[in-house]
Amino acid sequence: MLQYKRILLKLSGEALAGDEGYGIDARMVDRYAEEIKKALELGAEIALVIGGGNIFRGLSSAAATMDRVQADHMGMLATVINSLAFQDALERKGVFTRLMSAIKMEQVAEPFIRRRAIRHLEKGRVVIFGGGTGNPYFTTDTAASLRAVEIEADVIVKGTRVDGVYSSDPEKNPAAEMYRNISYIDVLKKNLRVMDLTAITLCRENLLPIVVMNMNVEGNFVRLLNGETVGTLVNQ
Ligand code: UDP
């Protein structure tokens, strides 16, 4: 029995960058695609949202002199580039996929249509949601929460390079402690950077559990779906 049947997996753009810190490292994409394939084989339904930070962010120094909306449009297009890379990696492994974009680009991706997205999932296709929410001033964390709620996902999994949610940044503070379970309200009160406030609030209002886990540990994703304790669970 799967712990979660329909999962929305959120990966940051940086996760795709590997050691370079920018751009797309095909080996990283391939590694994540493999984890997703294994999860599908268990019978899970998987939707994906990938960030764009490895290519462009609306709130970066490169965009400092730019109009914010213009810069955010660039960021959203960056997520489509990452999504295409992911789609390619999955399809090469024999996984059926559909890329749905929040910004219309018919030659490249289907438009996002909720009912169609759910149908794809039911048919065992991995649905990749590109283009964020389609709106500036939002993030892909918020896009992930929104899509997860829309498709009635059982959980939103935030795949990171740390093991879960810590009391402070574990990459800076070695004494940081990891939580196994924490409530939405404590995440907000303690100002823990699980996801941005809009995203957390949306999850909280819709009682959508969030799991933060290390996506760089092989087999972790499957262990989570099999009901093992992996990462940090954020819920009521
Ligand atoms: N973005 C946006 N609206 C959205 C999602 C993303 O404007 O709904 C833009 C924003 O400029 C953001 C960039 O796309 O900085 C990349 O997304 P994000 O920073 O969330 O990527 P990640 O940090 O996950 O790599």
Q: Whose CA is nearest to atom 16 of ligand 1?
A: 52
- Domain presence at residue 1: no
Ligand 1 centre to CA of 80 (Å) is 11
Average pLDDT on 126-141 reads 98
- Nearest-5° angle of CA 60, CA 63, CA 67? 130
Asked if 23 and 92 count as a contact pair (C-beta separation under 8 A), the reply is no
The pLDDT mean for the chain works out to: 96
Of 14, 22, 57, 112, the residue with max ligand 1 atoms within 8 A of its CB, to mutate for a pocket test, comes to: 57
Can you tell me the distance from the alpha carbon of 137 to that of 198, in angstroms, rounded to the nearest whole number? 11
Average pLDDT on 206-234 reads 97
Whole-number pLDDT of residue 214: 96
Ligand 1 centre to CA of 42 (Å) is 31
- Domain presence at residue 219: yes
Handedness of CA 85, 88, 90, 96 (dihedral sign): positive
Selected residue with higher pLDDT from 225 and 161? 225
Can you tell me the distance from the alpha carbon of 3 to that of 228, in angstroms, rounded to the nearest whole number? 9
Q: In whole angstroms, how far apart are CA 69 and each of 49, 64, 133, 135, 210? A: 21, 12, 13, 9, 29
Can you tell me the distance from the alpha carbon of 7 to that of 39, in angstroms, rounded to the nearest whole number? 10
Residue 18 has pLDDT above 90, yes or no: no
Percent of the chain with pLDDT over 70: 100
Residue 125 has pLDDT above 90, yes or no: yes
Residue 219 has pLDDT above 90, yes or no: yes
- Domain presence at residue 136: yes
Average pLDDT on 96-100 reads 98
Query: Phi and psi for 84 in degrees, rounded to 5?
Result: -65, -40
137 sits in the region (left: phi over 0; alpha: psi -120 to 50; else beta) called left
- Domain presence at residue 164: yes
Whole-number pLDDT of residue 113: 98
Residue 85 has pLDDT above 90, yes or no: yes
- Domain presence at residue 109: yes
CATH code, 216: 3.40.1160.10
Average pLDDT on 206-226 reads 97
Handedness of CA 236, 143, 100, 13 (dihedral sign): negative
The total domain count for the chain is: 1
Q: Whose CA is nearest to atom 22 of ligand 1?
A: 51
Residue 19 has pLDDT above 90, yes or no: no
End-to-end CA distance of the chain: 23
Residue 81 has pLDDT above 90, yes or no: yes
**Domain assignment of residue 164, given as a range:** 6-235
Of 24, 139, 44, 141, the C-alpha closest to 86 is 24
The count of residues in the chain is 236
Instruction: Tell me which range, 18-32, 54-68, 145-159, is most confidently predicted by mean pLDDT.
Output: 145-159
**Tokens 């964390």 map to which residue?**
141
Q: How confident is the model at residue 170 (pLDDT cuts 50, 70, 90)?
A: confident
Q: Whose CA is nearest to atom 9 of ligand 1?
A: 75
Does pTM surpass 0.80? yes
Residue 82 has pLDDT above 90, yes or no: yes
User: Is 13 among the annotated ligand-binding positions?
Assistant: yes
Whole-number pLDDT of residue 70: 97
- Domain presence at residue 35: yes
Percent of the chain with pLDDT over 90: 93
- Domain presence at residue 230: yes
Q: In whole angstroms, how far apart are CA 221 and each of 21, 104, 112? A: 23, 31, 26
Per-residue buried b or exposed e for 107-137, using 16+ beta carbons within 10 Å of the residue's own CB: eebbebeeeebbebbeeebbbbbbbbbbebe
Q: How confident is the model at residue 169 (pLDDT cuts 50, 70, 90)?
A: confident
Residue 20 has pLDDT above 90, yes or no: no
Asked if 63 and 57 count as a contact pair (C-beta separation under 8 A), the reply is yes
- Domain presence at residue 52: yes
Q: Which residues line ligand 1 (CB under 6 A)?
A: 12-14, 51-53, 57-59, 71-72, 75-76, 78-79, 132-133, 135-136, 138-143
